[in-house]
Amino acid sequence: MSLLLFFITSAFMSISIIMFRNKTITRIITSGFALLHIWFTVHSWSNLNNTDMVYFTYNSSGVLLLSVLSLLIIPTVYHGFIYASGDDLKKYNIYHAGLVALVTFMSGAYLANGMTVLWIFVEATTLAVAALIYHDRTETALEATWKYVFICSTGIALAYLGILFLGFIYGRGDASSLSFRSLSGLIDRADPLYLKIAFVFVMIGFSTKMGLFPMHTVTIDAHSVAPPPVSALISTALMNVGFLAIFRVYTLFSFSPILPFMNSVLIIAGLLSLLVAAGYMLKAKHLKRMLAYSSLENMGLVAIAVGIGGEAWYAAFLLIVLHSLAKSSLFFQMGQLSRILGTFRLDDAGRYMKLYPAGALVLLAGVFCILAIPPSGLFITEFLVFKEMVYTDRWLVLIPSIILLCFVIYAMSTRIMHVIFSDPRSPEIILPQEKVNPAETISQFVFLGIVVLFCFYQPPFLVDLINETFALLPK
């Protein structure tokens, strides 16, 4: 019943933020929610593999990603306080109420043990994110919000069609039971055609959240206008929701005859994601948009890793964890950069090292980490994926992946180096827009330090938890 208490308390906090007309009370309630979420994560660890309220299970994959969300929650709330400090009371309260709702919905999606409940919580995240994307109330924000709602709703509808095809596995009297456990006992007797159709619909539908090709465009536009702390959640914790939804269906179908088909679909989607990311990053002129395409590239690698299998399964989950820490740090820094430079546009940015050395060091360390350059822990994940490709003779996947990653490395590194060291390309002179306290970078350095640490040491408890996530997959 602790899960029910968490949901009720979170709902009460979100509603209270809207009702109380005071920024101080809003900050207190939001901070209290962050502590509540950390307590709930600790509770989840102590109840690993137990079921709560019938429809939720503290399984290894859900608890792992829930823990990542708890790591992100405090800096997200902190940077949100700073970002929204100048807003009027209505916008300020809507922002924080939406943030509480989004984190609650993502937590429910991580722990859902059935397709129907998972679908409901994923759809709920769309509504919460829409309120946050539209925070600045500009025409561009309105366009991005409507696009996000429309495409995500379309994607979730496609995922629902996949769920309906799963219902064909049952008889008419049992069709309402769509828990992963009940489905697993019937998969071997299901028509492979229904399973293929269901997987394709589910993968395309939940790709709106994972940010994977072909539904990647919705997250790219959202990043351009969303507040930086919100972008940090969209590109990490929310993408993890989409990944987990796809991975659970993949695990469910893994002992059926369509396993090779699923692997091929994931690898093709991953390669196309790398291709799109590399192409658009080479011409990116907006810094947050560039980071959004970087997330597409990383999700493409995750899809390829799942499709490859073997050691790459471990690499996929480790990549998810480390990408969340590195990418959130870069987006948090984007919030500070906009206050210093007054822009996200590449041509208008420059001399960041001179204007804000602490932030420039975050960008420098962050680009090394996110591009998997040693000593980044992401280097280990990519090494394991490429090694598995060599062992399984997947040269047609390995070679284009490496070539496309070279373009990504070139595109991102040259742009970040320009921002840090070069003069702006525009003729206007950059003037500091606002003084930023270097202490705001502490959380970013901590996260990037963890990413570097994982290159040399991965805690046994984390290794065991990741290994448990794919223990049921065929070896």
Burial 275-285 (b: 16+ CB within 10 A, else e): bbbbebbeebe
Say if pTM beats, i.e. exceeds, 0.85: yes
Burial 314-329 (b: 16+ CB within 10 A, else e): bbbbbbbbbbbbbbbb
Other C-beta atoms closer than 10 Å to the C-beta of 38 total: 16
Residue pLDDT, tens place only, 57-96: 899 999 999 999 999 999 999 999 999 888 888 899 999 9
> Which residues touch 157 (CB under 8 Å, ≥6 apart)?
205
Q: Are 367 and 412 in contact (CB under 8 A)?
A: yes
Tokens linked to 207: 């790709």
Q: What is the pLDDT of residue 177?
A: 55
| d(C-alpha 315, C-alpha 303), whole Å | 11
What is the dihedral sign for C-alpha 253, 298, 293, 394? negative
Residue type, 205: G
Main-chain phi, psi angles of 431, to 5 degrees = -120, 140
Q: Are 29 and 13 in contact (CB under 8 A)?
A: yes
- CA atoms within 13 A of residue 378's CA, in its CB half-sphere: 26
Other C-beta atoms closer than 10 Å to the C-beta of 264 total: 12
Q: What is the pLDDT of residue 370?
A: 94
Q: What is the pLDDT of residue 159?
A: 85
Q: What is the pLDDT of residue 300?
A: 94
| d(C-alpha 224, C-alpha 232), whole Å | 12
Residue pLDDT, tens place only, 196-245: 888 999 899 888 888 888 888 778 888 778 899 999 998 999 999 999 99
HEC secondary structure over 169-190? CCCHHHCCCCEHHHHHCCHHHC
Residue 426: exposed, middle, or buried by beta-carbon count in 10 A (0-12, 13-18, 19+)? middle
Note the maximum CA span of the chain: 71
> Which residues touch 295 (CB under 8 Å, ≥6 apart)?
211, 219, 223, 235, 236, 239, 323, 327
Burial 453-470 (b: 16+ CB within 10 A, else e): ebbeebeeeeeebbebbb
Comparing CA positions, the residue from 213, 229, 231 lying closest to residue 221 is 231
Q: What is the pLDDT of residue 43?
A: 93
Comparing CA positions, the residue from 166, 223, 242 lying closest to residue 198 is 166
3-state class (DSSP) for residue 372:
coil
Chain position carrying tokens 């109840």:
47
Residue 189: exposed, middle, or buried by beta-carbon count in 10 A (0-12, 13-18, 19+)? exposed
Positions of the chain with pLDDT under 50:
172-176
Q: What is the pLDDT of residue 175?
A: 46
